Every structure is written in C-alpha cells, then in structure tokens.
Amino acid sequence: MNQHCTFVSLIYEIHSQKKAGKKPALPMDFERTESMWMNFYGLGKFETLSFLYTECKSPEHLEEWIINRKGQDFTDEAALKFRAWQNAQESIDTNSSDYPQTLFPEQLQFWEQNGYLVIPQVVEAALCDQVKTQICQHLKLDLLRPETWYTPHPDWQGIMLQLYQNKEMEQIRYHDGVKEKFAELYQSTELIPNTEKVGYHPPETQGYTLRNGSLHWDLDLSRPIPFHIQGLVYLDDVPEERGPLQVVPGFHRHFEDWMKPFSSLDTAHQHMLATETAKPASGKKGDLVLWLNTLPHSAGRNQSDLPRFVQYVSFNKL
C-alpha cells in the first residue's frame, strides 16, 4: 500500500487523538475524503472505526488489516484509484447530462411527489438468495428452525447486521441496474457505492420485539443537509406484515419549513412521531427501494412467520 500510506497514517493519527479524548485539527473536507477513501477500499465505516478504536496499534497495523480483508492486488488498485480521485477533484463534473434514463414518467412523477420509489426486480433472485445465505451462515440461522433465529451475535444490532465483506454483497453494490437507477435520480454517472451493511429482522415474539424501530432521519442538523438518496434491496419478498420500510410520503417537500421552529433534531423527532403517519413500502425479492434522506423512515414490525432480509445500498458523488 505504499502508493497511499500518507492518508492511512493521517486516519490513524486523527482517530488515535480522538480515542485519547483530544480534538484533532481536521484537514479541510477530511470527513468526506475519509468516506471516499473507505468507498474506494471497499471498507464499511463501522468495521473500520471498530478496528481503529479497539485493536489498531499503528498505521502499519491498519494497512495490514486492510490487506488481510481485501487482498494485496485489490488494495494496490484502490490506492491508485483514490489518489487519482484526489488529483482530479477540480475536473470531475458530477452534473453531467449524460446519465441513464430508464425510469418511466409515472415513476419519476411518483418520486418527485412522494420522495421514495419501489423499483421492481432490479437484482436477480439468485444473487439475492446468495446474500441471504451469507447472512444465515454468519448468524448460524436455520430457516427451518425458528429457535435459531434469535441467538445474539456481536454483529447483529437491532435490525442491522454489520457484515460487509463477501463477493455477493459486492456484486449488488456494483450492480449495473442498481447504479443506473441512482445515476438517473442523481442525474450523474460520476458515482461510487458506499460500503453498506445488511439487515436481518426476524418475526416478533413474546421475547423479541423490534428495537429502535421508530420513524427517524439519518441526519446531522449541525451541517448543511445534502441531497442524498438512501436505498435497500429486498432479498426476499417483503409483504406488509413482514416489516417493510415505512416512510412518510411527501415529507421532503416541506422538510426545511417544517424544521424551522425546532432547535434540535431530538425535539423535531418527538414532534414528528406525534404528528406524522408512515406508509409501508412493500416489495418483492430483488426490488430496489429508494428514499430521500429528508423523508422520515423506519423498518416496520415483522408480524409474519419468516425473517426479513435486506441489503442496504447507496452512492456518493465523486
């Protein structure tokens, strides 16, 4: 990783200072650059920060961890791509008019009006099954034995499973059909996939209910809110009773005005829970579900007889 050990050293130094309770002076646009670095290297944010804050002893240790996770050839190529991206920042046109146009007019109208969209059969069923199998193997689930569906695992937090590294998940992240839908709505092909996690949500029982399942935003109000599209792929059929994504349709159109009276996201969140009603975005295996970051959203309650499996997907502009 000699091509880009400088940024690896910077990441290590900044997080070492934070770990020690200090407030490091951050280079301009560091957080975005760090996010892009993770994307080029195919690293999940949670897994990377977990390693940095619990095990990492040096920049060389971080390099070794990346190579062990991704392989030497991939790591070397990622370093070259990251450096090229850094050098080309002033010349990248992320607003090109040359982007895919595959959505129907009624889909685009629905997106503009409601702020979310369920696009059918974007990902092949066989690929969905492969990722689902990976989840089951990681959690040691037997879908024929419901008693195995609830065993605690350190990577399973709420409905989120902090699993990032396998070939099939990577194929969905880089899936042409997935990228073209994001590209059309971003109106740009200059995109890179974020290394997102997967989701596992078993049925509710007397001993298991959904934690942290209320409507929310994934936002930081202390900063300007960018136009950002969130997404997931249903790895199985997700009818209304199986806990599909819940959204408040159209909320994005008045988000800014609605937020003005509130001094904090927590206060706004409590008011939103008391006043807004969500709608389920059910779908079939392989469907791609997209929603704007200003749309309140959550997972629904799984009151079916099978778990819900999803893979989260999103992109950043280069």
pLDDT tens, position by position, 18-75: 999 999 999 989 999 999 999 999 999 999 999 999 999 999 999 999 999 999 999 9
| Amino acid in position 182 | F
pLDDT the model gives residue 97: 66
Work out the number of other CB atoms within 10 angstroms of the CB of residue 68: 10
* Residue 2 predicted with pLDDT over 80: no
Domain 105-317 carries which CATH code? 2.60.120.620
pLDDT the model gives residue 308: 98
Instruction: With cut-offs at 50, 70 and 90, classify the pLDDT of residue 211.
Output: low
Q: What are phi and psi of 93, to 5 degrees?
A: -105, 100
Question: pTM of this prediction?
Answer: 0.94
Q: What are phi and psi of 208, to 5 degrees?
A: -140, 120
Mean pLDDT of 160-175: 97
Instruction: With cut-offs at 50, 70 and 90, classify the pLDDT of residue 1.
Output: very low
Q: Given the structure tokens 């209320």, which residue do they identify?
A: 214
Domain boundaries, the chain: 2-87, 105-317
pLDDT digits (tens, 9 = 90+) for 98-139: 899 999 999 999 999 999 999 999 999 999 999 999 999 999
Instruction: With cut-offs at 50, 70 and 90, classify the pLDDT of residue 92.
Output: low
Burial of residue 146, with CB atoms counted within 10 A of its CB: 0-12 exposed, 13-18 middle, 19 or more buried: middle
Instruction: With cut-offs at 50, 70 and 90, classify the pLDDT of residue 94.
Output: low
pLDDT digits (tens, 9 = 90+) for 242-279: 999 999 999 999 999 999 998 888 899 999 999 999 99
Mean pLDDT of 294-298: 97
Greater confidence, 110 or 92?
110
* Mean pLDDT taken over the chain: 94
44 Cα distance to chain centroid: 9
pLDDT the model gives residue 300: 94
pLDDT the model gives residue 134: 98
